Amino acid sequence: MNLPLKWIIVLAVSFVPSLAYSIYIRNIEEYKKEPWRYVALGYLWGGIAAGIFLLISSLIYGQVEREHEYFQFFRSISNVFIIVILFPLVGEGLKAVGLLLVKKELDEVEDGLIHGAILGLGFGGFANVAYLYVAFTWQTEMIGGYEIPTLLFLIMASVSTILLHGSSTAATGYGVSSAMVDYDYTHLAMYFSAGISIHLIFNLLNTITIYLELQSGLYYLLGLGGVLLISNLVFRTIRARLLKLIEILDIETHKERTK
Protein backbone atom coordinates (compact mmCIF):
# COMPACT_ATOMS: atom_id res chain seq x y z
CA MET A 1 0.00 0.00 0.00
CA ASN A 2 1.10 3.56 -0.66
CA LEU A 3 2.58 4.73 2.69
CA PRO A 4 1.25 8.33 2.57
CA LEU A 5 -2.26 7.03 1.83
CA LYS A 6 -2.02 4.64 4.77
CA TRP A 7 -1.04 7.50 7.09
CA ILE A 8 -3.87 9.72 5.81
CA ILE A 9 -6.45 7.00 6.50
CA VAL A 10 -4.97 6.12 9.91
CA LEU A 11 -4.85 9.77 11.02
CA ALA A 12 -8.35 10.48 9.71
CA VAL A 13 -9.94 7.46 11.41
CA SER A 14 -8.06 8.24 14.63
CA PHE A 15 -8.53 11.99 14.96
CA VAL A 16 -11.68 13.02 13.07
CA PRO A 17 -14.07 11.27 15.51
CA SER A 18 -12.18 12.29 18.67
CA LEU A 19 -11.79 15.93 17.58
CA ALA A 20 -15.43 16.13 16.48
CA TYR A 21 -16.63 14.77 19.83
CA SER A 22 -14.25 17.14 21.69
CA ILE A 23 -15.54 20.21 19.86
CA TYR A 24 -19.13 19.10 20.44
CA ILE A 25 -18.57 18.57 24.18
CA ARG A 26 -16.81 21.93 24.55
CA ASN A 27 -19.61 23.79 22.75
CA ILE A 28 -22.47 22.29 24.79
CA GLU A 29 -22.24 25.17 27.27
CA GLU A 30 -24.18 28.28 26.26
CA TYR A 31 -22.45 30.57 28.74
CA LYS A 32 -18.83 30.61 29.83
CA LYS A 33 -17.50 28.06 27.36
CA GLU A 34 -14.17 26.47 28.28
CA PRO A 35 -11.16 28.36 26.80
CA TRP A 36 -9.71 26.69 23.72
CA ARG A 37 -6.18 26.74 25.17
CA TYR A 38 -7.28 24.55 28.08
CA VAL A 39 -9.28 22.32 25.78
CA ALA A 40 -6.17 21.85 23.63
CA LEU A 41 -3.99 21.31 26.72
CA GLY A 42 -6.25 18.56 28.00
CA TYR A 43 -6.51 16.91 24.58
CA LEU A 44 -2.73 16.96 24.15
CA TRP A 45 -2.13 15.57 27.64
CA GLY A 46 -4.41 12.73 26.62
CA GLY A 47 -1.94 12.06 23.80
CA ILE A 48 1.03 12.13 26.19
CA ALA A 49 -0.78 9.79 28.59
CA ALA A 50 -1.52 7.45 25.66
CA GLY A 51 2.17 7.44 24.72
CA ILE A 52 3.21 6.55 28.27
CA PHE A 53 0.56 3.85 28.44
CA LEU A 54 1.65 2.35 25.11
CA LEU A 55 5.25 2.34 26.31
CA ILE A 56 4.29 0.46 29.48
CA SER A 57 2.20 -2.11 27.61
CA SER A 58 4.89 -2.63 24.96
CA LEU A 59 7.50 -3.18 27.70
CA ILE A 60 5.27 -5.86 29.22
CA TYR A 61 4.43 -7.64 25.96
CA GLY A 62 7.12 -6.53 23.50
CA GLN A 63 4.61 -5.28 20.92
CA VAL A 64 1.87 -2.67 20.43
CA GLU A 65 -1.73 -3.90 20.36
CA ARG A 66 -5.07 -2.79 21.74
CA GLU A 67 -5.23 -3.74 25.40
CA HIS A 68 -7.61 -6.67 25.00
CA GLU A 69 -5.93 -7.99 21.85
CA TYR A 70 -2.90 -9.15 23.83
CA PHE A 71 -5.19 -11.99 24.88
CA GLN A 72 -4.86 -13.40 21.35
CA PHE A 73 -1.14 -13.97 21.88
CA PHE A 74 -0.88 -14.50 25.64
CA ARG A 75 -3.81 -16.57 26.87
CA SER A 76 -3.49 -17.02 30.63
CA ILE A 77 -5.20 -16.03 33.87
CA SER A 78 -2.36 -13.64 34.76
CA ASN A 79 -2.78 -11.96 31.38
CA VAL A 80 -6.52 -11.54 31.95
CA PHE A 81 -5.65 -9.82 35.24
CA ILE A 82 -3.27 -7.42 33.46
CA ILE A 83 -5.81 -6.60 30.73
CA VAL A 84 -8.94 -6.37 32.85
CA ILE A 85 -7.58 -4.95 36.15
CA LEU A 86 -4.07 -3.48 35.77
CA PHE A 87 -4.48 -1.65 32.45
CA PRO A 88 -7.66 0.21 33.53
CA LEU A 89 -5.97 1.31 36.77
CA VAL A 90 -2.86 2.55 34.98
CA GLY A 91 -4.76 4.15 32.07
CA GLU A 92 -7.26 6.02 34.23
CA GLY A 93 -4.51 7.12 36.62
CA LEU A 94 -2.44 8.58 33.78
CA LYS A 95 -5.43 10.41 32.35
CA ALA A 96 -6.46 11.76 35.77
CA VAL A 97 -3.07 13.48 36.12
CA GLY A 98 -4.03 15.66 33.16
CA LEU A 99 -6.94 17.13 35.13
CA LEU A 100 -4.37 18.84 37.37
CA LEU A 101 -3.19 20.80 34.32
CA VAL A 102 -6.64 22.34 33.87
CA LYS A 103 -7.66 22.58 37.54
CA LYS A 104 -7.80 26.38 37.22
CA GLU A 105 -10.85 25.90 34.96
CA LEU A 106 -12.62 23.41 37.23
CA ASP A 107 -14.65 26.07 39.02
CA GLU A 108 -18.04 24.49 38.25
CA VAL A 109 -19.03 20.86 38.74
CA GLU A 110 -19.81 20.25 35.06
CA ASP A 111 -16.33 21.49 34.06
CA GLY A 112 -14.87 18.20 35.24
CA LEU A 113 -17.16 16.29 32.88
CA ILE A 114 -16.15 18.50 29.96
CA HIS A 115 -12.39 18.49 30.52
CA GLY A 116 -12.38 14.84 31.56
CA ALA A 117 -14.22 13.81 28.39
CA ILE A 118 -11.91 15.87 26.15
CA LEU A 119 -8.81 14.48 27.87
CA GLY A 120 -10.11 10.94 27.38
CA LEU A 121 -11.00 11.63 23.74
CA GLY A 122 -7.43 12.84 23.19
CA PHE A 123 -6.10 9.65 24.77
CA GLY A 124 -8.29 7.53 22.51
CA GLY A 125 -7.40 9.49 19.37
CA PHE A 126 -3.64 9.30 19.86
CA ALA A 127 -3.72 5.67 21.00
CA ASN A 128 -5.67 4.74 17.88
CA VAL A 129 -2.86 6.05 15.66
CA ALA A 130 -0.55 3.34 17.00
CA TYR A 131 -3.23 0.65 17.04
CA LEU A 132 -4.49 1.34 13.53
CA TYR A 133 -1.06 1.72 11.97
CA VAL A 134 -0.07 -1.73 13.22
CA ALA A 135 -3.38 -3.39 12.29
CA PHE A 136 -4.29 -1.55 9.08
CA THR A 137 -4.90 -3.70 6.00
CA TRP A 138 -7.05 -3.65 2.86
CA GLN A 139 -7.86 -7.33 3.30
CA THR A 140 -11.34 -8.74 3.86
CA GLU A 141 -12.69 -11.37 6.24
CA MET A 142 -15.37 -13.95 5.55
CA ILE A 143 -18.28 -13.37 7.97
CA GLY A 144 -21.43 -15.43 7.54
CA GLY A 145 -20.48 -16.19 3.93
CA TYR A 146 -19.84 -12.52 3.06
CA GLU A 147 -16.57 -10.67 2.57
CA ILE A 148 -16.34 -7.85 5.13
CA PRO A 149 -13.53 -5.25 4.78
CA THR A 150 -11.12 -5.42 7.71
CA LEU A 151 -11.09 -1.61 7.68
CA LEU A 152 -14.73 -1.71 8.84
CA PHE A 153 -13.70 -3.62 11.95
CA LEU A 154 -10.90 -1.14 12.60
CA ILE A 155 -13.25 1.85 12.31
CA MET A 156 -15.73 0.23 14.71
CA ALA A 157 -12.92 -0.55 17.15
CA SER A 158 -11.54 2.99 16.80
CA VAL A 159 -14.86 4.68 17.60
CA SER A 160 -15.58 2.35 20.54
CA THR A 161 -12.11 3.08 21.97
CA ILE A 162 -12.64 6.84 21.68
CA LEU A 163 -16.07 6.66 23.35
CA LEU A 164 -14.68 4.43 26.11
CA HIS A 165 -11.90 6.83 27.09
CA GLY A 166 -14.12 9.88 26.74
CA SER A 167 -16.73 8.33 29.04
CA SER A 168 -14.40 6.89 31.67
CA THR A 169 -12.37 10.08 32.11
CA ALA A 170 -15.53 12.22 32.10
CA ALA A 171 -16.62 10.24 35.16
CA THR A 172 -13.25 10.82 36.82
CA GLY A 173 -13.37 14.50 35.93
CA TYR A 174 -16.81 14.82 37.52
CA GLY A 175 -15.43 13.36 40.73
CA VAL A 176 -12.45 15.74 40.70
CA SER A 177 -14.56 18.85 40.07
CA SER A 178 -17.04 17.78 42.77
CA ALA A 179 -14.15 17.60 45.22
CA MET A 180 -12.76 20.98 44.15
CA VAL A 181 -16.07 22.88 43.98
CA ASP A 182 -18.23 21.21 46.64
CA TYR A 183 -15.45 19.56 48.69
CA ASP A 184 -17.25 16.28 48.11
CA TYR A 185 -14.44 13.74 48.38
CA THR A 186 -16.91 10.87 48.45
CA HIS A 187 -17.79 11.77 44.85
CA LEU A 188 -14.09 11.87 44.00
CA ALA A 189 -13.59 8.26 45.13
CA MET A 190 -16.94 7.14 43.71
CA TYR A 191 -16.53 8.58 40.23
CA PHE A 192 -12.85 7.71 39.87
CA SER A 193 -13.88 4.14 40.69
CA ALA A 194 -16.69 4.47 38.14
CA GLY A 195 -14.19 5.57 35.49
CA ILE A 196 -11.99 2.56 36.23
CA SER A 197 -15.05 0.30 36.18
CA ILE A 198 -16.15 1.57 32.75
CA HIS A 199 -12.66 0.84 31.41
CA LEU A 200 -12.58 -2.54 33.17
CA ILE A 201 -15.94 -3.68 31.79
CA PHE A 202 -14.96 -2.50 28.29
CA ASN A 203 -11.74 -4.55 28.41
CA LEU A 204 -13.57 -7.57 29.80
CA LEU A 205 -16.21 -7.47 27.05
CA ASN A 206 -13.54 -7.04 24.38
CA THR A 207 -11.51 -9.91 25.80
CA ILE A 208 -14.61 -12.08 25.51
CA THR A 209 -15.04 -11.01 21.86
CA ILE A 210 -11.42 -12.02 21.24
CA TYR A 211 -12.22 -15.46 22.63
CA LEU A 212 -15.32 -15.66 20.45
CA GLU A 213 -13.27 -14.68 17.40
CA LEU A 214 -11.33 -17.89 17.90
CA GLN A 215 -14.65 -19.73 17.56
CA SER A 216 -16.55 -17.77 14.89
CA GLY A 217 -16.00 -14.56 12.92
CA LEU A 218 -19.75 -13.89 13.07
CA TYR A 219 -19.72 -14.00 16.88
CA TYR A 220 -16.78 -11.60 16.86
CA LEU A 221 -18.64 -9.15 14.64
CA LEU A 222 -21.69 -9.31 16.92
CA GLY A 223 -19.51 -8.92 19.99
CA LEU A 224 -17.69 -5.91 18.56
CA GLY A 225 -21.01 -4.37 17.58
CA GLY A 226 -22.27 -4.93 21.13
CA VAL A 227 -19.19 -3.25 22.62
CA LEU A 228 -19.66 -0.28 20.28
CA LEU A 229 -23.33 -0.01 21.28
CA ILE A 230 -22.52 -0.14 25.00
CA SER A 231 -19.74 2.46 24.59
CA ASN A 232 -22.18 4.74 22.79
CA LEU A 233 -24.84 4.29 25.48
CA VAL A 234 -22.37 5.09 28.27
CA PHE A 235 -21.16 8.18 26.41
CA ARG A 236 -24.75 9.31 25.82
CA THR A 237 -25.49 8.86 29.53
CA ILE A 238 -22.49 11.02 30.44
CA ARG A 239 -23.60 13.62 27.89
CA ALA A 240 -27.15 13.65 29.30
CA ARG A 241 -25.78 14.29 32.79
CA LEU A 242 -23.61 17.08 31.44
CA LEU A 243 -26.55 18.68 29.62
CA LYS A 244 -28.65 18.59 32.80
CA LEU A 245 -25.93 20.26 34.88
CA ILE A 246 -25.36 22.91 32.22
CA GLU A 247 -29.09 23.57 31.88
CA ILE A 248 -29.35 24.25 35.61
CA LEU A 249 -26.27 26.49 35.61
CA ASP A 250 -27.31 28.38 32.47
CA ILE A 251 -30.72 29.15 33.98
CA GLU A 252 -29.01 30.56 37.07
CA THR A 253 -26.55 32.56 34.92
CA HIS A 254 -29.35 33.94 32.77
CA LYS A 255 -31.30 35.04 35.85
CA GLU A 256 -28.23 36.85 37.21
CA ARG A 257 -27.68 38.65 33.88
CA THR A 258 -31.28 39.80 33.63
CA LYS A 259 -31.54 41.19 37.17
- 146, β-bridge pairs: 143
Please tell me the predicted confidence (pLDDT) of residue 236: 74
User: In tens digits, what is the pLDDT along the chain, a chain of 259 residues?
Assistant: 566 777 888 888 889 989 998 998 888 877 778 889 999 999 999 999 999 999 998 888 887 777 666 666 667 787 888 888 999 999 999 999 999 888 888 888 888 888 999 999 999 999 989 888 877 765 555 554 545 556 777 777 788 888 888 888 988 998 898 888 888 788 889 889 988 988 888 888 777 777 766 555 555 566 566 666 766 676 777 777 767 766 666 555 445 444 5
Euclidean distance between CA atoms 96 and 184, whole angstroms: 17
Q: Which helix (H) or strand (E) holds 141?
A: strand 140-143
Any idea what the Cα angle at residue 222 is, between residues 216 and 228, rounded to 5°? Answer: 135
Instruction: Give which of 135, 13, 116 is closest to 63, Cα–Cα.
Output: 135
